[in-house]
Amino acid sequence: MYIGYLNYVIVLCWVTGGLILLTDVKAYKNASLKKEQKVSKFLGLVNISIGFGLIAGDFIFSHFMW
């Protein structure tokens, strides 16, 4: 199976994850919003992990299953 826009999804996951970790986590820390700071850290890491997961999934699928 080939999804032509997968590269765009991976880049978007990394960029949005990075932006959350770089901007929102700090902003919530400065505003003393602890719950929001934790959530933003988690969501940023989730997006970055999804990006890496998609690369790994695509590699496995195209090299071993297709």
Partner 1 sequence: MGDPKEITALQATTILISTIIGVGVLPLPLFAVRAGETSAPFVTLTGVFLAAIGLMILTYLGIRHPHKTIITYSQDIIGKWLGKIFSIVVIFFFLILSSLTAREFGAVVVTAVLRETPLEVTVIVMLLLAAISCRNNINVFAYIHNLYVPMILAPVLIVVAFSLKNANLLYLRPIFLGNDLWNMAGGMLTVSALFQGSFIITMIIPAMKTPKKAMKASLWGILISGGLYLLIVIATVAIFGPEEIKQIFWPTLELARTTAIPGNILQRLDIIFLAVWVLAVFTTLFSSYYFTIHSIKELFRLKDHKVLSYFILPFVFFLAMAPQNVLHMYEIIQLIGRAGLLITIIYPAFLLLIDFLRSWRRKKNVAKPS
* Residue 28 binds to partner 1 (criterion: CB under 8 A): yes
- The residue behind tokens 């933003």 is 40
x-or-dash string of contact with partner 1, 37-66, rule CB under 8 A: --xx--xx-xx--x----------------
- Helical residues (DSSP H) of 1-66, grouped into ranges: 6-19, 25-30, 34-60
CB 17 within 8 A of CB 46: yes
- Tell me how many degrees the CA angle 5-8-9 measures, rounded to the nearest 5: 90
Q: Which of 2, 5, 64, 66 binds partner 1 (CB under 8 A)?
A: 5
Chain residues binding partner 1 by CB under 8 A are: 5, 8-9, 12-13, 16, 19-20, 24, 27-28, 31, 33, 35-36, 39-40, 43-44, 46-47, 50
